[in-house]
């Protein structure tokens, strides 16, 4: 049992899963701690750092970057969709992207942001925002919003360009690996089609009714009189 556990922990997939779990926990903690700090201090900076960002605590009844603010019906839908998203991310982590390390780590980042905002919405009825980036054309947001937004962008980039399973692999070795894998699949299909279906045993079905009756009579057990 101990040896099996050690072997399981040494597997690449297990190591990546554990690293992703640590990243998820750390980012979720960062999000919740910064929200608690902003609310407890009620921070409101007057000047923007470099003219683009400042700390300005607000209670956001909408979603990321204050969209759908004070729209209760829309936020009910958003809350349900967030819960579905969280479940979908977990499913993708253990299925579709089980062998894709960059994608799994990115999913952990997105999951931390999604759960962070969901905790606020369910526990408080609003999301605590404190990062004001209004000069960039956005409203006030939080670290969870950044995790979701940038994590989603990175995940899309990975799906399109990174690894042999990407839509358009950037590296030559990924493209060659994808070609080899496709060639192997085609070879297996060709071999299977050449072999054809397994031959059926018609020895019993091809017999005439009289022959079947005769054969059945021979196969019947004899009883001593």
Helix (H, G, I), strand (E, B) or coil at 215: helix
State how far the Cα of 40 lies from the Cα of 207, in Å rounded to an integer.
90
Residue 57's H or E segment, with its range, is strand 54-60
Tell me the pLDDT tens digit for each residue of 151-195: 999 999 999 999 888 889 988 898 888 888 888 888 888 888 777
Q: In Å, how far from its chain's centre is CA 35?
A: 26
Asked whether residue 224 carries a pLDDT value surpassing 50, the answer given is: no
Annotation says 145 is catalytic: yes
Q: Among residues 31, 120, 132, 145, which one is catalytic? A: 145
What pLDDT score does 196 carry?
64
Neighbours of 144 (CB within 10 A): 29
31, 120, 129, 132: the active-site residue: 129
pLDDT in the model for residue 160? 94
Least confident of 24-33, 110-119, 171-180: 171-180
pLDDT recorded at residue 76 = 83
> What rounded mean pLDDT belongs to the chain?
83
d(CA 202, CA 153): 60
Q: Is 65 exposed, middle or buried (CB count within 10 Å of its CB: 0-12, 13-18, 19+)?
A: buried
- pLDDT bucket at 225, cuts 50 / 70 / 90: very low
In this structure, the number of other CB atoms found within 10 A of the CB of residue 59 comes to 14
**121 compared with 213, residue with greater pLDDT:** 121
What pLDDT, on the 0 to 100 scale, is given for residue 188? Answer: 84
**What separation, in Å, do the N-terminal and C-terminal C-alpha atoms of the chain show?**
62
Dihedral Cα 158, 160, 165, 171, nearest 10 deg:
-80
- In angstroms, the CA 32 to CA 34 distance is 6
The fraction of the chain above a pLDDT of 90, given in percent, is: 50
DSSP state of 53: B
Q: 111 or 139, which is more confident?
A: 111
pLDDT digit string, tens, across residues 122-142? 999 889 999 999 898 888 899
Query: Residue 202 — very low, low, confident or very high, per pLDDT cuts 50/70/90?
Result: low
pTM of the model: 0.75
pLDDT of amino acid 218 = 53
Q: How far is CA 153 from CA 19, 30, 95, 146, 215, in A?
A: 21, 21, 21, 10, 73
Average the pLDDT over each of 48-57, 111-120, 164-173 and give the range with the smallest value: 164-173
pLDDT at 11 over 90: no
């Amino acid at each position: 049992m101990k040896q099996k556990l050690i072997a399981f922990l040494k597997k690449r997939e297990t190591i990546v899963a554990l690293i992703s779990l640590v990243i998820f926990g750390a980012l979720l903690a960062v999000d919740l701690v910064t929200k608690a700090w902003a609310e407890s201090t009620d921070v409101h900076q007057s000047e923007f750092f470099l003219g683009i960002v400042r700390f300005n605590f607000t209670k956001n009844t909408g979603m990321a970057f204050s969209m759908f603010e004070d729209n209760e019906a829309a936020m009910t839908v958003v809350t349900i969709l967030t819960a579905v998203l969280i479940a979908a991310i977990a499913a993708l982590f253990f299925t579709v992207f089980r062998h894709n390390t960059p994608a799994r780590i990115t999913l952990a980042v997105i999951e931390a942001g999604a759960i962070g905002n969901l905790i606020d919405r369910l526990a408080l009825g609003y999301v605590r925002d404190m990062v004001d980036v209004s000069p960039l054309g956005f409203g006030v947001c939080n670290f969870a919003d950044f995790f979701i937004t940038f994590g989603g962008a990175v995940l899309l980039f990975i799906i399109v360009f990174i690894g042999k399973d990407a839509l358009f692999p950037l590296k030559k070795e990924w493209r060659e690996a994808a070609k080899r894998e496709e060639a192997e699949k085609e070879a297996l299909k060709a071999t299977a089609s050449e072999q054809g279906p397994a031959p059926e045993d018609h020895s019993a079905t091809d017999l005439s009714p009289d022959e079947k009756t005769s054969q059945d009579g021979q196969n019947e057990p004899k009883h001593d009189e």
